[in-house]
Structure 1
Amino acid sequence: MSNSIDNFYKNQSVIYKYVLYILSIALIVYFFPKGGKFKYEFQKGKPWQYESLNSPLDFSIKKTPEEVEKERAELEAKKVPYYTADGDIAQEVIASFEEAFYESEKFQFLNDREKQNLSEKGLLILQGLYEYGIVPSQISETGLKLVKQNKALELTNSQVPTVAEAENKIAIETAAVPTNEHQQALSDLLRSVIKPNVSYDKELTENALADELSKISLTRGEVREGELVITTGEVVEGDKLKKLNSLKSEYESELWSGNNSYFILFGYTVLVALVLMMLFLFLKNYRPEIFADNNKVTFIFTNVLLMVFVTTLVVKTNENYLYVVPLCILPLILKNFFDARLGLFVHVLTILLLGFVVPNSFEYIFLQIIAGIITILTVSELYKRANLFISVGQITLIYIVGYFAFHIIHEGNLNNIEWITFGIFLLNGMITLFAQPLIYLYEKIFGLVSDVSLLELSDTNSKLLKELSDKAPGTFHHSLQVANLAEAAANQIGANAMLVRVGALYHDIGKMENPTYFTENQITNINPHDDIPPKESAKIIIDHVIKGIEIARKNNIPDRVIDFLRTHHGTSVVYYFYKKQEELGGEVNKEDFAYPGPPPFSKETAILMMADAVEAASKSLKSPNSQIIDDFVERIVKSQMDAEQFLNADITLKEIEAVKKVLKQKLINIYHLRVEYPK
């Protein structure tokens, strides 16, 4: 039982990776849109490269979204507004007229017959005006439908007058009255009582339009099973393109039915598993230090899952905004935390995953890979704010140029170009600028360190470096010199110069505990090592590594920087005290005088080891010249190589030679050596 528990704890890192692998596969497949995949790839304007295609099923030819939208626009332009007439208002007007007529003093001198004739004349005029009704103001449309007594009558504007038009009609109609005085009186009375009784019915109009729009057919014609759709070599355009798009849509919808859905899910699972397996194999074979760190592996997979989730969400919601997703944030962030090769590899694998679900997959994959390459090639030194803006501008330009080229290929001209797409690319670039706060967020969540954080750590006015300067000024000065040497060497071979510089500044902070035991801090001729045994002296010297790590952890120094503290002496021996112990006689255990290690495991840590040893030992040079410095650097680095300190570091012999050349030149500059001219 205990053996099983021990094995579990020993293998928990591997078990975690298996769980992460399976969980990632499940999530990605879950994110994918549900549906089959048409087995033919085709593009507008390109020849059909497969065998002649006969329809495997009956399907309707779907109209394009543009055609449907055009029909909708035509219906909306031709819509006839609905108006309703209020019969009660007409009755009120007539009643008001009769009451006002018989009460008016202007008609009191008429006999009964004349009154009746004049009253009937007024009523006839009103009945004519209210046959369909009166509207308050001019109707902009050429016609309308008037709902009266539950019937919809199609009328022209002239049949339904406005108040002003009704008053004109009254003036014309009353002109037939014999007496001018009575004409004006009747006209004034009629105009005073008329009211509009016809009003616009918005709800009825919209319902009628919606009913018409719902009748729009989304298809145009049908293709029967076995009917020829397209032949080999035919250009995919016009009706052929419509048929292929309709067949693709119908085929994929029918494919995702019954037991087929389980087979499709299985297929997706296998493909996603292969892609993620490639990522694991890459990390294991080429980035073993990252593969061994579950935190970093989780960080990489989290970013891949995030990009897949956001992209598939956009595809499901509105695929027109697909390029809003800032996919180039992925290589940008990974390069910032790791390296360019890993960033590009993960970016390409993520695009391959998304190629299963995005429309126009070839175009999408091409544009995203090119944009990713540009990201890797242009983004550097993110702690310089201008660099990110310049890189994002170049990425956006690549998207725009690429889309422009694809449009010309597909359309053969600049017609129908969708200018809104350029706006989408600009929005993509603006969102990509969010990489800076995202990097900060990742640093806090995953405990990683970026160049921006390294820049902050390189400030010599920081609390820890000020403390080092106060307690061990000699060590502080030594660290500055090592930082300058290491940074120059890193720039020469393309290593992370900022990381090396920060590592050099902090590599000896453990000497703050016992500063006087280190020669650079001894300001008198008194050496405390003279009063203690060599073995104890060696332990004090060696312990500065362990104490430095403890101090760094207390001050929340990132692990990437602490690696320099652990490795800057590797597993080398404190040779001076080792030889001194040998001179005293007796058996000497070499391990008691060796640093705990580990030896350097990266270019940056290897550079620091060389720069540290060269700078420290250079203080012993009495009368240095070019030849002495050359031999001195060669001897120091050779001794480190003989001690196998660089076996685990990914640094080549050519790069070591380049580092030595930089160190020699820098030492010559430090000692102000000049070429001796012949007399």
Structure 2
Amino acid sequence: MGNTLDNVYKYQSLAYKYFLYLASVVLIVFFFPKGGKFKYEFQKGKPWQYENLYAPIDFSLKKTAEELEEERKSIEDNKTNFYSYDATVPAEIKQSIEAELSQIFGQREIGRSTQNRIRNSALGAIDSIYAFGIFQESPSSDAIFLVKNNEALTLGSNSYTNLSDAKQKTRALLNSTNFQRDIPLASILTRLLEPNVFYDKALTDKALADELSRISLTRGEVSEGTQIIAKGEVVEGDNHKMLFSLKEEYESELWRGDNYFYILLGYTILVALVLMMLFLFIKRYRPEIFKNNNKLTFIFFNILLMVLATTLMVKNQESYVYVVPLCILPLILKNFFDARLGLFVHVLTVLILGFVVPNSFEYIFLQIIAGIVTILTASELYKRANLFISVGQITLIYILGYFAFHIIHEGNLESIEWILFGIFVLNGLLTLFAQPLIYIYEKIFGLISDVSLLELSDTNSKLLKELSNKAPGTFHHSLQVANLAEAAANEIGANAMLVRVGALYHDIGKMNNPAYFTENQTTNINPHDDLPPKESAKIIIDHVIEGIETARKNKLPDRVIDFIRTHHGTTLVFYFFKKQQELEASVNEEDFRYPGPIPFSKETAILMMSDAVEAASKSLKNPTYQLIDGFVEKIVEGQMQANQFVNANITLKEIEIVKKVLKRKLTNIYHLRVEYPE
């Protein structure tokens, strides 16, 4: 039954890896542009390095962005302005004039014919003045369209009349009449005049939009078979425009037809190959990560995130593609795993993105160099200054790289795009987001970073404070083991911060029964004297189980709990085992053996050696260099004979180095010197 469950779990884990692989391939291909990929790389001002190129298809010669912008600006500068004519204003003014004249005629004796002439003169003046209306503000254009009675009339600048001009025109028309002395008709009209022509922004904008929409994106056709460029010819002028148009046609979503399936197949094969290389690398060189589906998912999630961000930028604003902080990828992977894996994943991700970004060679070169700089400079991220220094160096590499490429392409500094320097600085600022991103990943994926390890190593933390209060001897022992293990880890290139934290917490299970452990016994009374050996052994063994429970209750990371679980491996509680043998001939070893598991990493193996050596060193009466050398060899050799390190990826050479470090550190602790012969 057990074997069946093991097989089910094994195949379930393998099936998930296949699913992760296929899902990643599908998603990346889905993110890619849906058009083809132009197979030639070319740059303006550089010679054409390929054979003579002839048009493989009929295609339109597209206008450049600069040409389109110039045409658009010309239309906007020469746009037609529309003004609306309000016919209600002159009608209302006429009514007001009629009312005032009727009132005046009622007060004075004026003949009927004279009244009619005055009335006709006033209304005629209004019709004349409002023939093209009175403008609220005189237009600045030489010609405009006046919308009157649903008709658009073209007016020249000599037809514009504002309110001041209208009043002068009114006085000129009426001051010469012979009845002006009886009735101040000019004063009445100038007082009642109002503007009735207003700028129609909505109609003007609509007309401008119609004009802009009629801009042609092309300026001619290139027939199939036409020579575009000859080998060795410099890419410039018309041939550059034709090459650009042909590339756009190939990469356009419109030019797909029956070729779309083959384009999709090509992308799928290439992406599948790249991700297969990643899987094979992890399986061969990082087997512990390959076995852990959570860590595999984390790696592929970060790759997908970077591919998605970059492809979205390429589709929407490809000139800003360097805004995407791609160096976050190696930064985070180095923080959680190691530098080699971080760089390998970064390079493969850049190769994938090389299919979709413009100027792919330049992009791949800059991103790989920046990734290498990230790996070389980003260390100890828990120190705040280190991340800023690393990001500054990454930004400098981007700037220098772009500067060099620009000189190569253009041969001068005249057309340098200074905005790109701002983009590189923005890239650096976004790379600083790695710190909060690391914290988020820790919570989502259950991983642990150096920043968290630094927090856990604080001896003033709640759990270590409790340990120092309840079991001061164990706390002091843990500090000594941490110092020994950290020094050994540094010598063989293991994770020193991780092994130090593991050493600080490895014996927290002793808090429950501190008096049963010799380092906490301050008197000559030993509670084990009153217990049978089997019960004493159980109390000693249980500190591992109780330590795991305490760690989980205090939400310690699993990687730290691994040290608690493995620091005794499956060794015997030898002292009480021997005492039990003195009482009975047949003793069950399992009653005196730790439950394990045995160490499965360099760090857990280092802790086992350091813990055993430090604890045993307390029993030395008169330590000498030779005595320390002998008992370190004896303890580590005993652990090796008990097969405690067979699952740990630690070599015999590294074990020898660890032993030398332990001997040296213990010699310093006891202030010993090598005894030289006389």
1:379: Cα distance to partner?
2.3
Per-residue CA deviations over 1:587-607 (Å, capped at 9, x if unaligned) read 677777654544433332232
Q: What letter is aligned with 1:196? A: P
Q: What letter is aligned with 1:334? A: L
Q: Distance in 2 between matches of 1:542 and 1:450?
A: 30
| SS of residue paired to 1:259 | helix
| SS of residue paired to 1:11 | helix
Per-residue CA deviations over 1:240-290 (Å, capped at 9, x if unaligned) read 222112111212347853432222222222222212211211111111111
Residue matched to 2:38: 38
Are 1:51 and 2:62 counterparts? Answer: no
Assess if the C-alpha contact under 8 Å between 1:107 and 1:115 holds in 2: no
Per-residue CA deviations over 1:9-29 (Å, capped at 9, x if unaligned) read 442111221122222222222
Residue matched to 2:208: 209
Residue matched to 2:220: 221
Q: Distance in 2 between matches of 1:3 and 1:521?
A: 44
Percent of aligned pairs with the same residue? Answer: 69
Q: Distance in 1 between matches of 2:615 and 2:264?
A: 63
Q: Distance in 2 between matches of 1:353 and 1:245?
A: 23
| SS of residue paired to 2:154 | strand
Residue matched to 2:160: 160
Q: Distance in 2 between matches of 1:441 and 1:71?
A: 49
Q: Structure 1's 664 and 4: CA in aligned 2 closer, same or farther, altered over 3 A?
A: closer
Assess if the C-alpha contact under 8 Å between 2:568 and 2:596 holds in 1: yes
| SS of residue paired to 2:83 | strand
Q: Distance in 2 between matches of 1:184 and 1:347?
A: 94
Q: What letter is aligned with 2:292? A: D
Assess if the C-alpha contact under 8 Å between 2:249 and 2:255 holds in 1: no
Q: What letter is aligned with 2:323? A: V
Residue matched to 2:26: 26
Q: Distance in 2 between matches of 1:236 and 1:624?
A: 81
Assess if the C-alpha contact under 8 Å between 2:510 and 2:543 holds in 1: yes
Q: Structure 1's 52 and 642: CA in aligned 2 closer, same or farther, altered over 3 A?
A: farther
Per-residue CA deviations over 1:564-591 (Å, capped at 9, x if unaligned) read 2233334545555566677779567777
Q: Structure 1's 48 and 538: CA in aligned 2 closer, same or farther, altered over 3 A?
A: farther
1:537-556 equivalence runs, <5 A: 540-556=539-555
Per-residue CA deviations over 1:397-421 (Å, capped at 9, x if unaligned) read 3333333433444444444544444
Residue matched to 1:498: 497
Gapped regions of structure 1 (runs ≥ 5): none
Are 1:73 and 2:70 counterparts? Answer: no
Residue matched to 2:284: 285
1:440-519 equivalence runs, <5 A: 440-519=439-518
Assess if the C-alpha contact under 8 Å between 1:55 and 1:225 holds in 2: yes
Q: Distance in 1 between matches of 2:650 and 2:46?
A: 49
Residue matched to 1:270: 269
Q: Distance in 1 between matches of 2:332 and 2:151?
A: 68
Residue matched to 2:248: 249
Q: Structure 1's 664 and 10: CA in aligned 2 closer, same or farther, altered over 3 A?
A: closer
| SS of residue paired to 1:302 | helix
Per-residue CA deviations over 1:282-322 (Å, capped at 9, x if unaligned) read 11111111111112112222222222223323333333443
1:5: Cα distance to partner?
7.4
Assess if the C-alpha contact under 8 Å between 1:351 and 1:369 holds in 2: yes
Residue matched to 2:370: 371
Q: Distance in 1 between matches of 2:145 and 2:397?
A: 55
Q: Distance in 2 between matches of 1:511 and 1:661?
A: 29
Q: Distance in 2 between matches of 1:594 and 1:337?
A: 34
Q: TM-score if structure 1 supplies the norm length?
A: 0.88
Of stretches 119-128 and 52-61 in structure 1, the one that deviates more from structure 2 is 119-128
Residue matched to 1:84: 84
Q: Distance in 2 between matches of 1:99 and 1:405?
A: 83
| SS of residue paired to 1:276 | helix
1:238-387 equivalence runs, <5 A: 238-253=237-252, 257-387=256-386
Assess if the C-alpha contact under 8 Å between 1:101 and 1:107 holds in 2: no
1:657: Cα distance to partner?
5.0
1:70: Cα distance to partner?
1.5
Q: Distance in 2 between matches of 1:454 and 1:55?
A: 62
Are 1:231 and 2:235 counterparts? Answer: no
Assess if the C-alpha contact under 8 Å between 1:275 and 1:349 holds in 2: yes
1:482: Cα distance to partner?
0.8
Per-residue CA deviations over 1:165-219 (Å, capped at 9, x if unaligned) read 222334455565689x749944423312322221111122112211211221111
Of stretches 98-107 and 279-288 in structure 1, the one that deviates more from structure 2 is 98-107
Q: Distance in 2 between matches of 1:401 and 1:417?
A: 13
1:673: Cα distance to partner?
4.1
1:626: Cα distance to partner?
4.7
Per-residue CA deviations over 1:509-538 (Å, capped at 9, x if unaligned) read 233344444332333334455566666655
Per-residue CA deviations over 1:349-389 (Å, capped at 9, x if unaligned) read 22222222222222322232222223222222233333333
Residue matched to 2:599: 600
1:227: Cα distance to partner?
0.6
| SS of residue paired to 1:232 | coil
Q: Structure 1's 211 and 363: CA in aligned 2 closer, same or farther, altered over 3 A?
A: same
Of stretches 416-425 and 213-222 in structure 1, the one that deviates more from structure 2 is 416-425
Of stretches 91-100 and 205-214 in structure 1, the one that deviates more from structure 2 is 91-100
Q: Structure 1's 380 and 18: CA in aligned 2 closer, same or farther, altered over 3 A?
A: same
Assess if the C-alpha contact under 8 Å between 1:489 and 1:607 holds in 2: yes
Q: Structure 1's 99 and 557: CA in aligned 2 closer, same or farther, altered over 3 A?
A: closer
Q: Distance in 1 between matches of 2:150 and 2:552?
A: 85
Q: Distance in 2 between matches of 1:290 and 1:419?
A: 43
Q: Distance in 1 between matches of 2:254 and 2:130?
A: 63
Q: What letter is aligned with 1:39? A: K
Per-residue CA deviations over 1:59-89 (Å, capped at 9, x if unaligned) read 1111112211111111111112111223443
Assess if the C-alpha contact under 8 Å between 1:52 and 1:228 holds in 2: yes
Q: Distance in 2 between matches of 1:517 and 1:136?
A: 100
Assess if the C-alpha contact under 8 Å between 1:175 and 1:183 holds in 2: no
Q: Distance in 2 between matches of 1:456 and 1:579?
A: 42
Q: Distance in 2 between matches of 1:343 and 1:407?
A: 29
Q: Structure 1's 256 and 119: CA in aligned 2 closer, same or farther, altered over 3 A?
A: closer
Of stretches 298-307 and 534-543 in structure 1, the one that deviates more from structure 2 is 534-543
Q: Distance in 1 between matches of 2:214 and 2:83?
A: 23
Residue matched to 2:669: 670
Q: Distance in 1 between matches of 2:656 and 2:236?
A: 61
Q: Distance in 2 between matches of 1:412 and 1:653?
A: 58
Q: What letter is aligned with 1:310? A: A
Residue matched to 1:131: 131
Q: Distance in 2 between matches of 1:405 and 1:106?
A: 93
Q: TM-score if structure 2 supplies the norm length?
A: 0.88
Per-residue CA deviations over 1:472-497 (Å, capped at 9, x if unaligned) read 32222100111122223333444322
Assess if the C-alpha contact under 8 Å between 1:472 and 1:521 holds in 2: yes
Gapped regions of structure 2 (runs ≥ 5): none
Q: What letter is aligned with 2:203? A: L
Q: What letter is aligned with 1:210? A: A
Of stretches 442-451 and 386-395 in structure 1, the one that deviates more from structure 2 is 386-395
1:640: Cα distance to partner?
4.5
Assess if the C-alpha contact under 8 Å between 1:36 and 1:255 holds in 2: no
Residue matched to 2:62: 62
Assess if the C-alpha contact under 8 Å between 1:442 and 1:448 holds in 2: yes
Q: What letter is aligned with 1:51? A: E
1:549: Cα distance to partner?
2.9
1:467: Cα distance to partner?
3.5
Q: Structure 1's 108 and 488: CA in aligned 2 closer, same or farther, altered over 3 A?
A: same
Q: What letter is aligned with 1:46? A: K
Q: Distance in 1 between matches of 2:165 and 2:183?
A: 17
Q: Structure 1's 604 and 264: CA in aligned 2 closer, same or farther, altered over 3 A?
A: same
Assess if the C-alpha contact under 8 Å between 2:138 and 2:160 holds in 1: no
Assess if the C-alpha contact under 8 Å between 1:602 and 1:651 holds in 2: yes
Q: Structure 1's 642 and 193: CA in aligned 2 closer, same or farther, altered over 3 A?
A: same
Aligned length: 678
